[in-house]
Amino acid sequence: MASSSSSGLTFKLHPLVIVNISDHYTRVKSQMNPPIAAHHRSATSPRVYGCVIGIQRGRTVEIFNSFELLYDPSTHSLDRSFLEKKQELYKKVFPHFYILGWYSTGNDAQESDMHIHKALMDINESPVYVLLNPSINHAQKDLPVSIYESELHVIDGIPQLIFVRSSYTIETVEAERISVDHVAHLKPSDGGSAATQCECFSVDSCHIYLAAHLTGIHSAIKMLHSRIKVLHHYLLAMQKGDVPCDNSLLRQVSSLLRRLPAIESGKFQDDFLMEYNDTLLITYLAMMTNCSSAMNELVDKFNTAYDRHSRRGGRTAFM
């Protein structure tokens, strides 16, 4: 296997593909009987297979989605009829998406993977191979996902197809960013499902998530401030003549400044104060509701205790 690809293609991978592959592997692994022991996990981890679909525009390949495939380990082949049926169904929903290649799980590309790769060449003459490494490596900072292409190399005088690794970038849309952020914040504790835990978060958990959210906003504002400061210093140096004047850059800075809202107007102050007061009012109402609920619980307990005493000593209840 060569170190890197020389095709010049640009690959863009969407998070939905990674989530689908991970979900496919997790379901297959959880359904295995008996479960995989911890000391045999790396040697007997199951492999899953599927197709990746998307769009290719010129030299840019964008992988949007994926679907599962049936694999026959005895013949090292895919269920062709199942593949054609799934392709037909996806074509009705996503008419602009085409099969770009396939995916699997494992530590590295294997020789048997080339049989599946060649079998898909009648659908796509140059399929891509997305490989997800399911093993956990806490020291690894990058995503455990690799994309391979196939190239024809002459080895010992014999032309052979081999896998070559290609670089990629993560591409997201707004809906994917919201979904990934929601999944990342789901941390159910022991003794209940994720849905139940989301409905029964304690006040401390809400404070933790609020603090994390505010920390993220603070980091974003801090980064924005540092970048604005860099632009300001650069413009001052350009004004003093320390750096040459770049009209193209000045136009970009001017266009960027026009996008910022004018926050020195009286209307902005009125709108800001109105929204600020509405937020405070909602906060006060929430606190009053919590206090009323706590008071009602206290009164119920007080009446219950006095009801027991009234049966003995004839005293009446508080309310």
DSSP notation for 263-303? -SSHHHHHHHHHHHHHHHHHHHHHHHHHHHHHHHHHHHHHH
Which amino acid belongs to residue 100?
Answer: L
| Beta carbons of 198 and 41 less than 8 angstroms apart | no
The per-residue pLDDT for 103 is 92
Per-residue pLDDT reduced to its tens digit, 156-166: 778 888 888 88
196 pLDDT exceeds 60? no
Distance CA 76, CA 116 (A): 7
Of 128 and 317, which is predicted with more confidence? Answer: 128
The per-residue pLDDT for 201 is 41
Per-residue pLDDT reduced to its tens digit, 272-294: 889 889 988 988 998 899 899 89
Q: What band does 51 get if pLDDT is binned at 50, 70 and 90?
A: very high
193 pLDDT exceeds 50? no
Would you call 252 helix, strand, or coil by DSSP?
helix
Q: What band does 53 get if pLDDT is binned at 50, 70 and 90?
A: very high
CA proximity to 22, closest of 78, 68, 64? 68
Adjacent-strand bridge partners of 56: 61
The per-residue pLDDT for 63 is 92
Would you call 110 helix, strand, or coil by DSSP?
coil
- Residue 280 — φ and ψ, nearest 5°? -65, -40
The per-residue pLDDT for 207 is 56
Question: In this predicted structure, which of 87-91, 146-150, 180-184 has the lowest mean pLDDT?
Answer: 180-184
Q: What band does 55 get if pLDDT is binned at 50, 70 and 90?
A: very high
Q: What band does 203 get if pLDDT is binned at 50, 70 and 90?
A: very low
Distance CA 282, CA 289 (A): 10
Over residues 33-57, mean pLDDT: 71
The per-residue pLDDT for 128 is 92
Residues in the chain: 319
Question: In this predicted structure, which of 148-162, 163-177, 200-214 has the lowest mean pLDDT?
Answer: 200-214
96 pLDDT exceeds 60? yes
Question: In this predicted structure, which of 6-20, 41-55, 177-191 has the lowest mean pLDDT?
Answer: 177-191
319 pLDDT exceeds 60? no
194 pLDDT exceeds 50? no
Check residue 230 and report its DSSP letter.
H
The Cβ of residue 206 has, within 10 Å, a number of other Cβ atoms equal to 10
The per-residue pLDDT for 191 is 47
Distance CA 107, CA 157 (A): 29
CA proximity to 146, closest of 232, 250, 18, 31? 18
Averaged pLDDT of the chain = 79
Of 32 and 53, which is predicted with more confidence? Answer: 53
Per-residue pLDDT reduced to its tens digit, 212-270: 777 888 888 888 889 889 888 988 998 888 888 888 888 888 888 777 666 667 777 88
Query: What does the angle CA 28 – CA 31 – CA 36 come to, to the nearest 5 degrees?
Result: 90
Distance CA 162, CA 152 (A): 7
Would you call 11 helix, strand, or coil by DSSP?
strand
Distance CA 41, CA 107 (A): 13
Q: In the sheet where 145-155 sits, what is the strand order?
A: 158-166, 145-155, 128-132, 98-105, 49-57, 60-68, 10-13, 168-170
pTM above 0.75, yes or no: no
Inter-CA distances, 42 with 36, 38, 74, 129, 261, Å: 9, 8, 21, 22, 55
| Beta carbons of 151 and 6 less than 8 angstroms apart | yes
